[in-house]
Amino acid sequence: MNEPVRLSKRMSELGICSRREADEWIERGWVMVDGKVISQLGSKILPDQKITVRKQASLEQSKKVTILINKPVGYVSGQAENGYKPAVSLINETTHWKNDPSKEKFRPSQLRSLVPAGRLDIDSVGLLVLTQDGRIARQLIGENSTTDKEYLVRVKYLKPGRLPDSDLRLLRHGLKLDGKPLLPAKVHWQNDDQLRFVLHEGKKRQIRRMCEAVGLKVIGLKRIRIGQVRLGDLPPGQWRYLGADEKF
């Protein structure tokens, strides 16, 4: 516990900012350790040393936006691929939800460094988070993230009869993907052909692969919640800002 660690890593661990932001602030002379400015990248400190940042850093961080979008089918979460457009291409003044309670005004500069904090595959719809804030990205997709995500999944059973209770229990806990056990999940029937999933992880196409493992075909998949933030009435293809009072 008393081994020196990189200053940028320690700042990220404490939730002050992302590592990339920490490096930028260090280079600008905005970071102090025990009252002394540290401007050398790669500097190491002891875990019990006190880190403070100048007001310029806090001011710059407060300008960063986080955007919630109701992603439609046919858009990829991240960079354009195979001819499909990225979800960020939907963000402009005309697609800004008219009922957004935020007082924030859209500026094209908000699109810079706006990255998805988690995936939602091309055939899935619902809540996607795009953020400029490294702290939020780390909270949602970092190694130690515990933020749960809720989905409504329309399915078709490919075998005679109905999905056995034993397979429903297997969806909740006991399946493996890529040779690794999955974390326990909450899975319940919403109605005859729709399941509700609550996951604490987000492996690639996880729900679709889980369903395939027990003979279910996914017909439609919609993410409706990430942590305490819900999709709500946000229309497909439109977006809003994460409110100042909203926390994941």
Q: Tens digit of pLDDT per residue, the chain (248 long)?
A: 578 999 998 988 887 887 888 898 899 899 999 999 999 999 999 988 999 998 888 777 667 899 999 999 999 998 777 788 999 999 999 999 999 999 889 988 889 888 899 889 999 999 999 998 888 888 888 777 889 999 999 999 999 999 999 999 999 999 999 999 999 999 999 999 999 999 998 888 999 999 999 999 999 999 999 999 999 999 999 999 999 889 89
Q: Are residues 57 and 76 in the same domain?
A: no
Residues in the chain: 248
Query: Given the structure tokens 């709500």, which residue do they identify?
Result: 232
Same domain, 119 and 236: yes
Residue 78 pLDDT: 84
Instruction: Respond yes or no: is residue 121 known to be catalytic.
Output: yes
- Asked whether residue 247 is domain-assigned, the answer is no
115's tokens = 């990255």
Q: Is residue 111 part of a domain?
A: yes
CB atoms within 10 A of CB 218: 19
Q: What confidence score (pLDDT) does residue 17 get?
A: 81
What stretch of H or E contains 154? strand 149-157
pLDDT (0 to 100) of residue 1:
59
Distance from C-alpha of 184 to C-alpha of 130, rounded to nearest angstrom: 27
Residue 50, C-beta contacts closer than 8 angstroms, at least 6 positions apart: 33, 34, 35
| Residue ranges in the chain assigned as alpha helix (H) | 7-13, 19-28, 55-62, 134-141, 165-172, 206-213
Pair (131, 235) in one structural domain: yes
Tell me the residue type at 86: P
**CA-wise closest residue to 202 among 130, 123, 149, 151:** 149
- The domain spanning residue 119 has which CATH number? 3.30.70.580
Contact 234, 182 (CB under 8 A): no
One domain, residues 131 and 175: no
Tell me the C-alpha distance between 91 and 244, whole Å: 20
Catalytic hit among 23, 34, 48, 121:
121
pLDDT at 128: 97
* CATH number, domain with residue 209: 3.30.70.1560
pLDDT for the residue 195: 98
Q: Does residue 40 form part of some domain?
A: yes
Residues 116-119: contacts with CB under 8 Å, at least 24 apart: 116/77, 116/78, 116/87, 116/88, 117/141, 118/77, 118/149, 118/202, 118/226, 119/77, 119/78, 119/202, 119/204
Whether residues 233 and 210 fall in one domain = no
Query: How many structural domains are present in the chain?
Result: 3
Q: Which residue has the tokens 């946000």?
A: 234
8 A C-beta contact, residue 83 and residue 93: no
**Domain span including residue 88:** 66-145+229-241
CA-wise closest residue to 97 among 106, 108, 84:
106
Is residue 95 a part of any domain in this protein? yes
